[in-house]
Structure 1
Amino acid sequence: MKEFIKNNFRPFLTALGITAFVIICMYHTSCHITPEGITLITNDCKSAKIEGFKIDGSDIHVEFSKNVKVEQCFVVEASDDLEKVSSIENFHNCENKMQVEWEDDPDEFIIHYKLKEKTKIGKCYELYSVVRDSAGSSLSFALPFYGENDHFPDIVISEINEAYSNKEALSEFIELYALSSGNLFGLELISASNERHYPLPDIEINKGEYIVVHLRGDENDKNCVTEKGSNLNLSKARGSVAARDIWINSSESALNSTAEIVLLNNKAKNKLLDCVMYCKKDYAFSNKDWKTESLCKYAALCSDAGLWNKPCIPENAVYSNERKSISYVSRTNIEGLKNSPERNNDAKCWTGTAKSKMTPGKKNAW
């Protein structure tokens, strides 16, 4: 445990050596609750330092520079209000505190905190704790985290459009198909060419749903509505579909038209779930391996996870024999996935064609 925490979190937490005042100001400026942030409320200069932490669902493990004992601890719902910066007064005046159990590991200098109540999926929380070392010096801190998702759906990538045209109001999208019901929070889509991550929101979906994730959305466009409930007619922007629409707030190019690997990742569980590799025909014929470091890296990850049935190289990717390039790829074995636990996934399970054959939010056509 100690080695894992040190290897994964020590570089970030090195910055915690600066004063508590500066850290709180940084928190106030961003005010985004993330598993990577931590706020010092009060800090005796002689007290123990926080060396690292790990969040695992409702279990939170915090490593200190020396042995400490917990004097006080509870969890509160966090706020995105910029005026409500974490402070002792805010924590003590907060209602509806959630109780927390803890165990200390004196050999490892780790406190294991465990929530006694179930959190809401995707909700922001903060763990507030006061610890004291054997010399009497104390440290108060707030550690933000998200409510755990314990109900992930069985879901696959089913269709991709990489083409973008401002004149035609055509934008990149990734379609997903739900083989079972569940909540999307904690899942993300990744475009390997530019290593962009697109986190999916807290949405309950049903078995058999098609979900279209639009990769370029304008937050100022009131028609770009992410449909979180049962009403799937809220999104009116160009490109909206009859199925569930999710809009990513971005104006940047999302998918590469020459060569790309798209992945579906369970970030919360650190587990890749699905992928598709596609490229231009000339690229597949002229390159024995992917031409960029990022594509090579993610191809190796897909291979290690067993997500592609053949070696993850360009000649085994999806491409079109009829066209020099493709702007759309569609999965052809959705029906087979419904009835089989096996996840066949290679170029034979996909087809690459022109944008005129796109069927976002509908049963795939080819």
Structure 2
Amino acid sequence: MNSNQFVKKLSQMIFVSAGLLFAVTFSVCPMSCRSSVENLELLSGDFSVPKITKFCATSSNSARIDFSREVELKNTELFLSDEISSMGNVECKYEENTVLLEFKNETAIGIDYKIEGMAFDSAGNSLTFSVPFKGFNSNPAKVIITELRNAYGTRTIKETKERLHRSEFVELYVLKEGNLSGLEIISAANGDKTKFILPAIEVKKGDYVTLHMRTIVAEGLDGEGMFNELENNLKLSTHEDSCDTARDLWSECTKKPFAASDIVVLRNSNTSEILDAVVFAKSDCTEWKKGISDFASIVSESGVWQDGASVENAVCCDNVTPTATTRSLSRQNLKEAIAAYKNGQPIVNGKDCWIVAKTATPGYKNSDIPYVKK
């Protein structure tokens, strides 16, 4: 076979192969594509995971969890927050979207615990959860806010050149003895970022408790003299604004705890109930920022601030500044509040109950001398 005949024969073989390939491809592809579409099975239903919408301890040996839908819990156990070993299984009772939990062992006031388990909805979707909480406070103290300084400042002593630092603080007065566990001070502007959760401390009627809202680390202080008075030694804290006859507690926060115009709230961290509040604003503030406005609505609904927590009903705080931290916002109706609580009447609080006092008195009886700008 010469070269011309070889090329001709090879061309014929390639043409035949190409034809066969085209025929096979044409016959298989349409059938294959049609078959895939016809046999494709689309799954339908809700594949979202159930969510926890609320949790609260209801007694020393019980709690409740609200879910976004009805669920069944499995492998639910109680733990100390820093322990691996379980304190026992948790008994569950169901009421629609709510699960009532009963513990085999009682929890202790203020101790950190966690509940772990799995929640399954009717479609088989599951949620593995771990919920931290503090042991239930069966004897909560009744306290109100009586003084507040919303500014941080320094001053220099001429003789020694020593620089004194004054931090923001909130003063509480105890109307009924009990434990402070579960209470928290929170700023509407900053939320959880700078909130102060009070420790489990027993207090007596008539006590003052000063919450210093930041630990000062400027100029190498590193918290010098800023000690939490958790026991009976009320002289332990020695930093500026500490009081030897009242309890001083220091927040671990090192940042600005309040905004210039803000709402500071005392609330039950377990139930989110608003217990008291102070609403203050600069004179040039015409409306709350979004985060604060949300809190303002909640405070207004609670009724703890007379006539609602609007900017118009805020205490003017123009004269409490970083260069004037000897002043404070001072509540003036403590006697009336004590009498109202004793008689089971609502405690009045609002713009007219407060002044800018010339002298801050954390831990002591409030000054009734207002600051008057000259």
TM beyond 0.5: yes
CA distance in 1, matches of 2:173, 2:295: 22
Question: 2:346 maps to what in 1?
Answer: 342
- After TM superposition, the structure 1 = structure 2 runs for residues 142-221 of structure 1, keeping only pairs within 5 Å, are 143-166=131-154, 167-195=163-191, 196-218=194-216, 220-221=222-223
Q: Which runs of 5+ in 2 are unaligned?
A: 1-46, 155-162, 369-374
Following TM superposition, by how much is the alpha carbon of 1:103 offset from its aligned partner in structure 2, in angstroms?
A: 3.2
Question: 2:252 maps to what in 1?
Answer: 249
Question: 1:76 maps to what in 2?
Answer: 79
Q: Please, which of 257, 264, 281 is the counterpart of residue 266 of structure 2? A: 264
- After TM superposition, the structure 1 = structure 2 runs for residues 342-361 of structure 1, keeping only pairs within 5 Å, are 342-354=346-358, 357-361=359-363
Q: Please, which of 102, 107, 132 is the counterpart of residue 92 of structure 2? A: 102
CA distance in 2, matches of 1:363, 1:50: 53
Q: Which runs of 5+ in 1 are unaligned?
A: 1-47, 85-89
Q: Which moved more, 1:227-236 or 1:173-182?
A: 227-236
**Structure 1 residues 324 and 163 mapped into 2: Cα distance closer, same or farther (>3 Å)?**
closer
Deviations 1:307-343 (A, max 9, x none): 222243333322379x697851100111111111221
Indicate conservation of the 8 Å contact 2:69/2:121, yes or no.
no
Question: 2:18 maps to what in 1?
Answer: none
- Write the letter of the residue equivalent to 1:316: N
Following TM superposition, by how much is the alpha carbon of 1:194 offset from its aligned partner in structure 2, in angstroms?
A: 3.2
Deviations 1:19-42 (A, max 9, x none): xxxxxxxxxxxxxxxxxxxxxxxx
Q: Please, which of 235, 239, 246 is the counterpart of residue 237 of structure 1? A: 239
Indicate conservation of the 8 Å contact 1:99/1:117, yes or no.
no
- Write the letter of the residue equivalent to 2:336: G
Following TM superposition, by how much is the alpha carbon of 1:62 offset from its aligned partner in structure 2, in angstroms?
A: 7.6
Question: 1:274 maps to what in 2?
Answer: 276
Q: Please, which of 284, 293, 298 is the counterpart of residue 295 of structure 2? A: 298
- After TM superposition, the structure 1 = structure 2 runs for residues 319-334 of structure 1, keeping only pairs within 5 Å, are 319=316, 327-334=327-334
Indicate conservation of the 8 Å contact 2:171/2:210, yes or no.
yes
Indicate conservation of the 8 Å contact 1:320/1:353, yes or no.
no
Indicate conservation of the 8 Å contact 1:169/1:239, yes or no.
no
CA distance in 1, matches of 2:350, 2:70: 51
**Structure 1 residues 169 and 66 mapped into 2: Cα distance closer, same or farther (>3 Å)?**
closer
Indicate conservation of the 8 Å contact 2:150/2:320, yes or no.
no
- Write the letter of the residue equivalent to 2:240: R
Following TM superposition, by how much is the alpha carbon of 1:131 offset from its aligned partner in structure 2, in angstroms?
A: 8.7
Following TM superposition, by how much is the alpha carbon of 1:143 offset from its aligned partner in structure 2, in angstroms?
A: 4.6
**Structure 1 residues 319 and 103 mapped into 2: Cα distance closer, same or farther (>3 Å)?**
closer
Q: Please, which of 120, 131, 137 is the counterpart of residue 108 of structure 2? A: 120
Indicate conservation of the 8 Å contact 1:328/1:352, yes or no.
yes
SS in 1 for 2:251: strand
CA distance in 2, matches of 1:160, 1:133: 47
CA distance in 2, matches of 1:317, 1:73: 47
CA distance in 2, matches of 1:186, 1:118: 17
Indicate conservation of the 8 Å contact 2:317/2:329, yes or no.
no
- Write the letter of the residue equivalent to 2:175: L
CA distance in 2, matches of 1:164, 1:68: 51
- Misfit runs of 4+, over 4 Å: 62-70, 128-134, 138-143, 323-327
- Write the letter of the residue equivalent to 2:347: R
Following TM superposition, by how much is the alpha carbon of 1:65 offset from its aligned partner in structure 2, in angstroms?
A: 9.1
**Structure 1 residues 292 and 244 mapped into 2: Cα distance closer, same or farther (>3 Å)?**
same
CA distance in 2, matches of 1:272, 1:130: 32
**Structure 1 residues 217 and 116 mapped into 2: Cα distance closer, same or farther (>3 Å)?**
same
**Structure 1 residues 67 and 201 mapped into 2: Cα distance closer, same or farther (>3 Å)?**
closer
Indicate conservation of the 8 Å contact 2:169/2:210, yes or no.
yes
Following TM superposition, by how much is the alpha carbon of 1:236 offset from its aligned partner in structure 2, in angstroms?
A: 2.1
SS in 2 for 1:338: helix
Following TM superposition, by how much is the alpha carbon of 1:187 offset from its aligned partner in structure 2, in angstroms?
A: 1.4
SS in 2 for 1:145: strand
Following TM superposition, by how much is the alpha carbon of 1:182 offset from its aligned partner in structure 2, in angstroms?
A: 1.8
SS in 2 for 1:294: helix
CA distance in 1, matches of 2:353, 2:270: 28
CA distance in 1, matches of 2:216, 2:317: 32
Following TM superposition, by how much is the alpha carbon of 1:298 offset from its aligned partner in structure 2, in angstroms?
A: 2.3
Indicate conservation of the 8 Å contact 2:265/2:274, yes or no.
yes
TM-score, normalization: structure 1? 0.68
SS in 2 for 1:230: coil
Following TM superposition, by how much is the alpha carbon of 1:214 offset from its aligned partner in structure 2, in angstroms?
A: 0.4
CA distance in 2, matches of 1:168, 1:320: 22
Indicate conservation of the 8 Å contact 1:260/1:279, yes or no.
yes
Following TM superposition, by how much is the alpha carbon of 1:67 offset from its aligned partner in structure 2, in angstroms?
A: 6.8
Deviations 1:105-151 (A, max 9, x none): 7x76x7643114321112122335589999xxx99875543211222
What is the count of residue pairs matched by the alignment?
294
